[in-house]
Amino acid sequence: MIDTPSLERYSRQMRFPPLGKAGQEKLLAARVTLCGCGALGTVLANILVRAGVGFLRVIDRDFVEPSNLQRQVLFDESDVANNLPKAEAAAAKLRQINSTVTIEPIVADINRTNIEDFCQGADLILDGSDNFEIRYLINDVAIKHNIPWVYGGAVGSQGMTMTIIPGQTPCLRCVFEAAPAPGETGTCETAGVLAPAVQIVASYQATEAIKLLTGHSAAINRELLILDVWENTQRRVKIAPLAGRKGACPCCAQRNFAWLDGEHGTQTTALCGRNAVQVSHRVQGKLDFAELARVLQHSGTVTYNKFLLKFHLVENGSPYEFTIFEDGRAIIKGTDEPEKARTLYAKYVGH
């Protein structure tokens, strides 16, 4: 039993009839794993911690950079100056916002070897990531362990979100059968992103989280919500009939967890003494160098021939050289840290 005075801070949302005191007590008892703490993730964490979600595990591999501040709402200039990991900087801010909730920051690269541990015991998994490798990993874990999750994505002025309840709704692979190959869709680094687009998507995700955590799954969005803040459009396309795809969905129907089992995805190898890391990303088919070059030319200099593509980039004063092969493999010079290389790959080559 929670005493009434400590619930005073939640009085406005408790007055919202579907929540009430019972809903608030469910939120206070809830455990959420947040995968990624960038633009989506900071908005999600901000809303959920203010709402009184009892336990929030925040996982992110990156450090706060100046280009994050335009849209990543929990960070400020001092976090950049102190070179803080995003998970730690976010946790410090979140504890100031609400000292009564438990925040567990984890500075780690989410991959198939650790994601099941990170999601163990969670009532809900939230997608605050920026790439499809993590989203398909989340989808595998969520289906395997029967945990709901909420997908969100945004690029440019456009965003989309869908809510997955295993066994009830389509899963991510029912709707999007495979991840875009590297370079085939924009990333926030190559195509840009407006803060409102990504923050609105995250706000929808957070609303879904509140519904799910308070037992209002009847109220969730069962369609694919797509919006564009520049073109003033918002639509919901029907995906419910895709659930399981008549037994053809490899994930939720056949329980083949290809990302978790390592059939798909990225592996990194530090190339000792060369200040370089090899990123092995398995793609189906071959990369289209002309298309990838067209996308990357906005961020650096690109040359390519039949066999490989070279991409030179300067980020925060540090030069990097990508050598990308047709099969999706890349050697990234300028770092010997696998996490940094994976971050650079996800940012510029994408998933």
CB of 309 to other proteins, least distance (A): 17
Please name every residue paired with 269 in a beta bridge, in sequence order, or none if there are none: 278
Binding track over 205-234 against other proteins, x by CB under 8 A: -------------------x-x-x--x---
AA letter at 129:
S
Length, in residues, of the chain: 351
The three-class DSSP label of residue 198 is: helix
Task: Please give the Cα distance from 177 to 172 (Å, whole number).
Answer: 8
Is position 137 an interface residue for other proteins (rule: CB under 8 A)? no
For other proteins, which is the closer residue by CB, 107 or 191?
191
Is 188 in the active site? yes
Please enumerate in sequence order all residues whose Cβ is within 8 A of that of 241, keeping only pairs 6 or more positions apart, or say none: none
Cα dihedral angle (315, 104, 194, 140), rounded to 10 degrees? 90
CB atoms within 10 A of CB 211: 21
Q: Is 57 in the site for other proteins (CB under 8 A)?
A: no
Is 176 a binding residue for other proteins by CB under 8 A? The answer is yes
Which residue of 18, 167, 241, 262 would you call a contact of other proteins, by CB under 8 A?
Answer: 241
Binding mask 138-157 for other proteins (x = CB under 8 A): --------------xxxxxx
Q: Is the dihedral of CA 104, 108, 110, 116 positive or negative?
A: negative
Stretch of residues binding other proteins (CB under 8 A), selected from 170-178, 262-270, 271-279, 301-309: 170-178
Q: Number of residues interacting with other proteins: please give it, by CB under 8 A.
A: 52
Take residue 145 and report the two structure tokens written for it: 């362990």
| The only residue of 27, 164, 165, 175 in contact with other proteins, by rule CB under 8 A | 175
Tell me which stretch binds other proteins (CB under 8 A): 32-40, 47-55, 253-261, 263-271: 32-40
Q: Which of 119, 188, 251, 252 is labelled catalytic?
A: 188
DSSP 217: G
75 with 195: CB under 8 angstroms? no
Packing angle of the helix pair 39-51, 86-97 (nearest 10 deg) = 30
Binding of residue 235 to other proteins (CB under 8 A)? yes
- How far does CA 56 lie from the centroid of its chain? 15
CA 256 from chain center: how many Å? 22
Looking at the DSSP bridge assignments, the partners of residue 271 are 276
Instruction: Candidates 77, 117, 177, 263: give the one binding other proteins (CB under 8 A).
Output: 177
Say how many Å lie between the first and final Cα of the chain, rounded: 46
Candidates 116, 288, 326, 339; binder of other proteins (CB under 8 A) is 288
Residue with Cβ nearer other proteins (23 or 38)? 38
Q: Which stretch binds other proteins (CB under 8 A): 8-16, 39-47, 211-219, 302-310?
A: 39-47
**Count of CB atoms situated within 10 Å of the CB of 146:** 9
Would you count residue 193 as binding other proteins (CB under 8 A)?
yes
In this chain, which stretch among 13-21, 54-62, 169-177, 264-272 interacts with other proteins, using CB under 8 A?
A: 169-177
- Cα(166)–Cα(145) distance, rounded to whole angstroms? 9
Among residues 30 and 283, whose Cβ is nearest to other proteins?
A: 283
Give the helix/strand (H/E) hosting 138.
helix 132-145
**By the rule CB under 8 A, 247 interacts with other proteins:** no
Active site members? 188
Which residues in this chain contact other proteins in the complex, by CB under 8 A? 36, 38-41, 127-132, 152-160, 175-180, 184-188, 191, 193, 198, 201, 224, 226, 228, 231, 235-239, 241-242, 245, 285, 288, 294, 350-351
